Amino acid sequence: MNQSRLSDHAYAGIVEIIKSRNLEVGARLPSESALAEMFSVSRAIVREALVRLASDGITEARRGAGSFVKSRPSERLAAFMPMSELSATMGSFEVRFVLEAEAARLAATRRTSPEMAHVEEGMDMLRSALLSGAPAHAEDMELHRRIASATGNPAFLIAFDALRSGIEKVMRAGLDISRARHPDVIATMLREHEVIVEAIRVQDADGAALAMHWHLWEGRRRLMP
């Protein structure tokens, strides 16, 4: 098993400890040496896993005190992916922050009137699905694809589609988890998309990029309780 797979193994193992021990937010995780012994890996592997968990907002390191639970992945996530895939799925957000924020920026700069109409049609379809209580992940995916297409650079759509499997899992899970919460959560998700589309419409490149980055950041956070 190579180092990245060992790190995935440790990442999933730490998440399982949080779940199986019912560790609350603020609880201290076992030490790096204890975790290394549990998973039969080096402390360097455990440290890499903890860095990734911290980047994903699940743990946080406190100097001289160790690592602590910052947020717990929703129990509903297991219906959409095995926990062994959580590391790769959450890691896809790092790629999407770069890819989709820049796609939104370029779409705002380059979109033609027909492309804008195509994006707005996608927004209307997503709005209808979200407000009707329908699954909505297909409409969510379609809007993001239309924004990538509006860059005028086919490579953005190719790159987005290469991530499609992981993105679809996240969208399905995020919508399911959000629908189980207060209705304001779905309203907030809808507003995030509307802000992106409006920035593209008025050709506010920086605003579109920032709105997309914020939406993805919040989408990752919605995977937690």
Q: Tell me how far apart the alpha carbons of residues 207 and 31 are, in angstroms, rounded to a whole number.
A: 42
Take residue 79 and report the two structure tokens written for it: 């219906």
Query: Does 1 score more than 80 pLDDT?
Result: no
Look at residue 78 in the predicted model and tell me its pLDDT: 80
pLDDT in tens, 208-225: 999 999 999 999 989 886
Check: CB of residue 111 under 8 Å from CB of residue 216.
no
pLDDT in tens, 146-172: 999 999 999 999 999 999 988 999 999
Look at residue 79 in the predicted model and tell me its pLDDT: 84
pLDDT in tens, 8-34: 999 999 999 999 999 999 999 999 999
Percent share of the chain, pLDDT over 70: 98
Query: Does 49 score more than 80 pLDDT?
Result: yes
Please state, in angstroms and as integers, the Cα–Cα distance from residue 62 to each residue in 59, 67, 68, 123, 125, following that order.
10, 6, 8, 42, 45
Task: Calculate mean pLDDT across residues 137-149.
Answer: 97
**In this structure, which topology does domain 3-72 adopt according to CATH?**
Arc Repressor Mutant, subunit A (1.10.10)
Task: Calculate mean pLDDT across residues 40-57.
Answer: 94
Q: Tell me how far apart the alpha carbons of residues 19 and 14 are, in angstroms, rounded to a whole number.
A: 9
Q: Identify the CATH class of 79-221.
A: mainly alpha
Specify the residue for token string 């730490």: 14
Average pLDDT, the chain: 93
Look at residue 2 in the predicted model and tell me its pLDDT: 60
Its sign, for the CA torsion 61, 66, 70, 72, is: positive
Look at residue 84 in the predicted model and tell me its pLDDT: 80
Q: Tell me how far apart the alpha carbons of residues 183 and 154 are, in angstroms, rounded to a whole number.
A: 36
Domain residue ranges in the chain: 3-72, 79-221
pTM of the model: 0.87
Q: Tell me how far apart the alpha carbons of residues 215 and 138 are, in angstroms, rounded to a whole number.
A: 17
Specify the residue for token string 């297991």: 78
Take residue 16 and report the two structure tokens written for it: 């399982």
